[in-house]
């Protein structure tokens, strides 16, 4: 799909969307938003589980966007991404953008102890070495991961999607944004500022070794409708404990908005049995059947947001203006 000429008279190359197997429904939704067909190709396994990729359309001189979350199974999906990039590079694509809605290994962004890896940096090196020219991702667990790349990297924010959903489903006063732990305060503060509501913090700690974690609420949540905000929900334990602590401190109800619904192990059952009124996640990770069947878990799509960011990148327009 050719775009209008750039100001200097050069024409933007035709845009192609390529997808791996990690989240085909999201890739198809993005293509639907852009009114573009998904580029034909196949990603399959040999008998020994080696990954084989074949792009079945001409991509020479094209502006190609590879959509692939590195979610479970993280290693397989990461390898798919790398092989796809390599295939496109060898097919003479003009520019390759790795669109990674969920960036796996992001929680390994520093050395928590001696002789431990910084795997988020290793993954960045692998993506670059495979041949990506730029990266687009969503709500990185740690902002400094952008600096792990030596190529342009756009960290998109799900905040506009979250704010719109809150406005549609949580009409009324007495809203309060709550960070479920101290590490998420910056994220919670940004959303609270956007919505012009107060903020509170749940401080998780163990008073003595071997004792269970205790949630201390910093801020007056009495009579408030609390919105827990975080980037990743994995086991769901922190969210469930935070919800209980907020209700004990007088909150009227507790909802949670999380960008990446990892929801491993028994997380879905834990959320269903909790006192959370609702958990809203995006489709950055393809929801499982259990997630879709859960009564208090809802999925909102970030396809229009990512689609618009892809379109602006192809047209060399501002992406940051989407969020400010």
Residue 274 assigned ligand-binding role = no
Residue 33 assigned ligand-binding role = no
CA-to-CA separations, 98 to 6, 41, 152, 231, in angstroms, rounded: 23, 16, 11, 20
Whether 171 is catalytic: no
Question: Long-range contacts: 106-109, Cβ < 8 Å, 24+?
Answer: 106/140, 106/141, 106/142, 106/145, 107/141, 107/232, 109/141, 109/142, 109/144, 109/145
Residue 230 assigned ligand-binding role = yes
Cβ–Cβ under 8 Å, residues 308 and 322: yes
Residue 207 assigned ligand-binding role = no
DSSP code, position 255: E
Residue 261 assigned ligand-binding role = no
Residue 141 assigned ligand-binding role = yes
In sequence order, the 6+-apart residues with CB closer than 8 A to the CB of 7 are: none
Residue 236 assigned ligand-binding role = yes
Residue 181 assigned ligand-binding role = yes
Catalytic residue among 204, 224, 275, 277: 204
Residue 49 assigned ligand-binding role = yes
Residue 108 assigned ligand-binding role = yes
Which three-class secondary structure state does DSSP give residue 282? strand
Residue 109 assigned ligand-binding role = no
Question: Do the bridges between strand 253-261 and strand 225-233 make them parallel or antiparallel, or are there none, so unpaired?
Answer: parallel
Count of CB atoms situated within 10 Å of the CB of 267: 22
Q: Where are the alpha helices (DSSP H) in 118-262?
A: 119-130, 159-169, 185-195, 237-248
Residue 115 assigned ligand-binding role = no
β-sheet bridge partners, residue 261: 233
- Supply the residues annotated as catalytic: 204
Q: Which residues are annotated as a binding site?
A: 48-50, 107-108, 141, 181, 206, 230, 234-238
Q: Which residues are annotated as a binding site for D-ribose 5-phosphate?
A: 206, 230, 234-238
Q: Which residues are annotated as a binding site for ATP?
A: 48-50, 107-108
Q: Which residues are annotated as a binding site for Mg(2+)?
A: 141, 181
């Amino acid at each position: 799909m050719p775009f209008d000429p750039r100001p200097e008279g050069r024409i933007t190359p035709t845009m192609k969307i390529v997808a791996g197997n990690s989240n085909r429904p999201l890739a198809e939704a993005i293509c639907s938003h852009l009114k573009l067909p998904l580029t034909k190709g196949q990603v399959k396994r040999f008998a020994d589980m080696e990954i084989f990729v074949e792009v079945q359309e001409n991509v020479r001189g094209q502006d190609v966007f590879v959509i692939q979350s590195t979610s479970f199974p993280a290693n397989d999906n990461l390898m798919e991404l790398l092989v796809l990039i390599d295939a496109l590079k060898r097919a003479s694509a003009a520019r390759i953008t790795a669109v990674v809605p969920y960036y796996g290994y992001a929680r390994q962004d520093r050395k928590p102890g001696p002789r431990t890896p910084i795997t988020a940096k290793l993954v960045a090196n692998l993506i670059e070495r495979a041949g990506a020219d730029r990266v687009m991702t969503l709500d990185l667990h740690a902002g400094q991961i952008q600096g792990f790349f030596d190529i342009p990297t756009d960290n998109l924010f799900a905040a506009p999607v979250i704010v719109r959903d809150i406005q549609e489903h949580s009409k009324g006063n007495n809203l309060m944004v709550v960070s479920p732990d101290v590490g998420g305060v910056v994220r919670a503060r940004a959303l609270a500022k956007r919505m012009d509501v107060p903020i509170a913090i749940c401080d998780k700690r163990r008073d003595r070794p071997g004792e269970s974690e205790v949630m201390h609420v910093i801020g007056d949540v009495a009579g408030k409708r609390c919105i827990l905000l975080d980037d990743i929900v994995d086991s769901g334990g922190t969210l469930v404990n935070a919800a209980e602590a907020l209700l004990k401190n007088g909150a009227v109800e507790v909802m949670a908005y999380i960008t990446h619904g990892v929801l491993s192990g028994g997380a879905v059952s834990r959320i269903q049995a909790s006192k959370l009124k609702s958990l809203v996640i995006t489709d950055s990770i393809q929801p499982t059947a259990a997630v879709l069947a859960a009564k208090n878990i809802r999925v909102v799509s970030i396809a229009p947001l990512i689609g618009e960011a892809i379109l602006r990148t192809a047209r060399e327009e501002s992406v940051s203006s989407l969020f400010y």
